[in-house]
Structure 1
Amino acid sequence: MTTTGSRPVPALPAACLDWCRAQPPALLVADEYVEIDLDLWNLRLAERGVDLRLVAGGPDGGRVESGSGFLRRSDLWAAGRRARGSLEESVVALYMCAAWLAGHPQRSGIRRGLPDFRLPEWDRAAWRSVSSHGYPLVLHEVVDWLDAPAEAMNLLRNGAPHGSAGRGVPDLGYPLASLYLASLGMAWSEQTIVPVDPAGIGSLVHAGWTEVESLGRLTPRRYQRYLDVVSAWADEAAVDPLVVEMWLVHHWHDRRSAVTPSGSSAESPPGSRPR
């Protein structure tokens, strides 16, 4: 077991090293895709008065605006780069991340129904850092904090009531917040922010990580420690941290499918929310 700063880092599992080095890193993460029901998502958005429509890719690579479509991680990265320019694009990027996460068969963290990232109307007048549509401005301003992931996570989820950042973003758990921050971070040359998922936490705990036993115990500071461990493993394996994060999720599901009867409640990752 090595250390990052004064904290212990579990030894890199041989299975993680072998899997990560066997993958085509240029394509593996960028092409991770989910199928989403555009009609359902856009109907829900319209019903809630959210002024945007999601689009996705078709089977032939073209753009589709209705029916079923595919969202790739590279689509989220492109949306994250656009989000650095305006609050409106930040809202689009966050809903794209929500759709991708909700549609992923091995990831969790989105509650049932459509998330609403606006402050309630009765609460908006008390905060200056809110757009005319009710979105906390920190959703866009957080791009200036990406070199300090723990601070970025804290601002995004909790806000800074006594400063210019104002309120945090409602309906935002760690899996979605971290996926959004990772998408924003892809505009940088070095990517150090990766998503966090209940399954990934479960794999780290299985490998000997003792700082957090489930996603429910995560804090912004512990999220930074999670990033430190993933980065340490990535450095040792000489791969991108995003590849290590993918292994964490895959490994949990592979391990559970080998030991858990189908349909058992034990198949849910520790700390995950029902979808």
Structure 2
Amino acid sequence: MTTTGSRPIPDLPSSCLRWCRAQPPALLVADEYVEIDLDLWNLRLAERRVDLRLVAGGPDGGRVESGSGYLRRSDLWAAGRRARGSLEESVVALYMCAAWLTGHPLRSGVRRGLPDFRVPERDRSGWRSVSSHGYPLVLHEAANWLDTPGEAMNLLRNGAPHGRAGRGVPDLGFPLASLYLSSLGMAWSQQHIVPVDPAGIGTLVHAGWTEIESIGRMTPRRYQWYLELVSAWAEEAAVDPLVVEMWLVHDWCERRSLVAPTGSSAHNPPGGRLR
């Protein structure tokens, strides 16, 4: 056991070191992809009167607007770069992150159905920091707080600073919020911002991390501690923190597959939600 600042962290598992060093880091994370049903997503968006359409990549690398498509992590990073330009692009980036996370076979943390990141109409009169379409402005403003990821997370989850009205972005749990911040951070921050997943937290608890027992106990401050732990392990392994985060998820799923029968509820990480 070592410490990061005043926070104790468990020792780097040898299995993590071996796995991370065996990966091609230049391609591993950027090419992590999921297949999504564009017709279903865009139908749901239209039904909820969300003014955007998702597009994705085709098998040959071209752009597709209907049928099945592929979203890579690099697509999320590109969306994160565009998100700095406007609130509208921020909304697109967040929905792309939601689609990627929902479609990922090893990850969880998005509620069933289509998330709606707008403040309900009945509540908008009490908010001074919401767009004409109902989106909290903190969704876009978070890009200005990326050098302090815990504060950026607090902004998304709990609302704007300086006493302005609002509670944060609706339908936004820690897995999706952290994936969004990580996508923004690839272009706009020097900080190592990685996603947090229920499976990854399960692996950290298994390795001896005692800050929380499940993602249900996550807070913005604990998210900052989580980032410090992942960065410390990545520095020791001499790999990118995003590779360590991938190992956290893969390790949990691999260990559960060895002890749980197929279809068992044990395949769902502590604090995770079924898609």
How does the TM-score come out when normalised to structure 2?
0.98
The corresponding residue for 2:28 is: 28
The corresponding residue for 2:91 is: 91
Inter-CA distance 202–108: structure 2 relative to 1 (3 Å threshold): same
Inter-CA distance 156–189: structure 2 relative to 1 (3 Å threshold): closer
**Runs (4+) off by over 3 Å:** 164-167, 188-191
The corresponding residue for 2:101 is: 101
How far apart are the structure 1 equivalents of 2:70 and 2:62? 10
State the one-letter code of the partner of 1:158: N
Indicate if the aligned counterparts of 1:34 and 1:103 stay in contact, CA closer than 8 A: yes
The corresponding residue for 2:172 is: 172
The corresponding residue for 1:209 is: 209
**Residues matched between the structures, number:** 275
The corresponding residue for 2:12 is: 12
How far apart are the structure 1 equivalents of 2:165 and 2:24? 40
Deviations 1:56-100 (A, max 9, x none): 000000000000000000000000000011000000000000000
Inter-CA distance 240–112: structure 2 relative to 1 (3 Å threshold): same
Query: 1:188: Cα distance to partner?
Result: 3.6
Query: 1:190: Cα distance to partner?
Result: 3.4
SS at 2:187 equivalent: coil
SS at 1:75 equivalent: helix
SS at 1:69 equivalent: strand
SS at 2:8 equivalent: strand
RMSD across aligned C-alpha pairs, in angstroms?
A: 1.1
Whether 1:111 aligns to 2:111 is yes
The corresponding residue for 1:200 is: 200
Deviations 1:31-64 (A, max 9, x none): 0000000000000000000000000000000000
Deviations 1:128-155 (A, max 9, x none): 2110000000000011100111111011
Where do residues 231-250 of structure 1 align in structure 2 (5 Å cutoff)?
A: 231-250=231-250
Query: 1:264: Cα distance to partner?
Result: 1.7
How far apart are the structure 2 equivalents of 1:167 and 1:214? 23
State the one-letter code of the partner of 1:148: T
The corresponding residue for 1:181 is: 181
Query: 1:119: Cα distance to partner?
Result: 0.2
Identity, in percent, stands at: 85
The corresponding residue for 1:251 is: 251
Indicate if the aligned counterparts of 2:198 and 2:269 stay in contact, CA closer than 8 A: yes
How far apart are the structure 2 equivalents of 1:89 and 1:264? 39
The corresponding residue for 1:230 is: 230
Deviations 1:194-228 (A, max 9, x none): 00000000000000001110000101100111111
Residue ranges of structure 1 left out of the alignment (5+ in a row): none
How does the TM-score come out when normalised to structure 1?
0.98
SS at 1:160 equivalent: coil
